[in-house]
Amino acid sequence: MNQQPQIFDITILGGGPTGLFAAFYAGLRNASCKIIDSMPALGGRLTAVYPEKYIYDVAGFPKVLAKDLVDNLIAQAMAYAPSLALGEVAQTLTRREDGIWELKTAESIHLTKTLIVAAGVGSYSPKKHLATGADTFEGRGISYAVVNKEIYRNRRVVVVGGGDSALDWANEMVSIASEVTLVHRSDRFRAHDDSVSKFQKTGARILTGTEITAFEGADHLQKIRIQNTETLEEGIIEADDAIIMFGFNSSLGKIREWGLELENDGIKVNECMETNIAGIYAAGDIAEYRGKLKLIATGFSEAAIAVNFAKTFINPKEKAQPLHSTTIMELKEKRQARAAASPAK
């Protein structure tokens, strides 16, 4: 006889920072919880792409390594022992007659009273450089992610791009590489002003209004051909490595077929993180509303809001505004102390 899967109060689709904090908050609200993620490990893009990158805009941390932030988020979430289903890609979502949501993956069926979609940008792949030789030297000098920054120590590194990731890594490489060059095709940066100013003060080479036309070398990258976008003047950069930071192509995949209202390649929500379908919420980068800021700090707030309103959906008598976390912990400690002091029956 096949055992029916457990019905969870809240299932979280996505195991990145937002999903992990949502799982912790579900624990605070005494809600049973499951995390489903397509990756084999928790942490989302921070684990898969940016483990060695410093993050500067998380409250309480002047700076924190992405992998350390993930470790802390996992420890926080696991305090309430959420169920985990890793390496599973969400396929279909249907509501049964009894109101329970049935989410299917290729591996299993997951049942839940509510669903919080915290899938970041969905499935993603890095935007590749199209210059001659980019494909040839990928993995042999050209990379689209920094998993171990020590491999760049004492090497000539070129960082390509003008967004936050490009400037963050350019600043990181100054203390690691023997030589750092930042190449950006525009004369304007999309990164935070502070990051740009910080890099300018390092004295490292900055080439704006410059395009890369070719990557060259033998078994490994050795030279990068460049061209000024206005004067068309050409040049060569001697380099050992190129870190390409053009961002990612993202896809919502099967989520697009669930009947959710979409906006700007995300899921439209209201101030309660509610989607157009009752019982389904969205939080983090995938959630869209007017004035949205795509920050980890924003995702934490949205996660808490989504969990609290999921609780009121499950039981309308519950309050969306919970007790303070210190009060919740004090009450739990008192209950545990009373249970420990009670004689065994």
pLDDT digits (tens, 9 = 90+) for 134-163: 999 999 999 998 878 899 999 999 999 999
- Residue 329: pLDDT over 80: no
User: Among the three residues 185, 214, 246, which one is the final residue of a domain in this structure?
Assistant: 246
SS3 289: coil
- Residue 2: pLDDT over 90: no
- Strands 33-37 and 7-13, by their bridges, are parallel
State the Cα angle at 294 between 250 and 321, rounded to 5°. 120
**CATH, residue 260:** 3.50.50.60
Task: Specify the length of the chain in residues.
Answer: 345
User: 291-305 as b/e, with b when 16 or more CB fall inside 10 Å?
Assistant: eeeeebebbbebbbb
Both 280 and 238 in one domain: the answer is: no
Average pLDDT over all residues of the chain: 91
User: Among the three residues 246, 263, 293, which one is the final residue of a domain in this structure?
Assistant: 246
Q: Backbone phi, then psi, for 303, in 5-degree steps?
A: -60, -45
Rounded CA separation 310/114 (Å): 6
What's the structural domain count of the chain? 2
User: 242-276 as b/e, with b when 16 or more CB fall inside 10 Å?
Assistant: bbbbbbbebebebbeebebebeeebbbbeeebbbe
Rounded CA separation 15/84 (Å): 9
Of 228-232, 315-319, 332-336, where does the model show the most confidence?
228-232
- Residue 276: pLDDT over 60: yes
Both 185 and 78 in one domain: the answer is: no
Both 140 and 242 in one domain: the answer is: yes
Alpha carbon separation from 131 to 72, 159, 224 (Å, rounded): 40, 15, 10
Both 132 and 239 in one domain: the answer is: yes
Domain containing 190 equals 128-246
pLDDT for position 331: 63
Split at pLDDT 50, 70, 90, the class of 51 is confident
- Residue 174: pLDDT over 50: yes
Split at pLDDT 50, 70, 90, the class of 126 is confident
Within-domain flag for 1: no
Lowest mean per-residue pLDDT among 40-49, 166-175, 226-235: 40-49
Say if residue 277 is exposed, middle or buried (CB neighbours under 10 Å; 0-12, 13-18, 19+).
middle
pLDDT for position 76: 97
- Residue 111: pLDDT over 50: yes
Rounded CA separation 3/111 (Å): 13
- Residue 243: pLDDT over 50: yes
Within-domain flag for 345: no
pLDDT digits (tens, 9 = 90+) for 87-96: 898 999 999 9
Q: What is the pTM of this model?
A: 0.74
Side chain identity at 82, as an amino acid letter?
P
The Cβ of residue 213 has, within 10 Å, a number of other Cβ atoms equal to 14
- Residue 1: pLDDT over 50: no
Q: Would the CA dihedral through 182, 187, 190, 194 be positive or negative?
A: positive
User: Among the three residues 246, 280, 306, which one is the final residue of a domain in this structure?
Assistant: 246
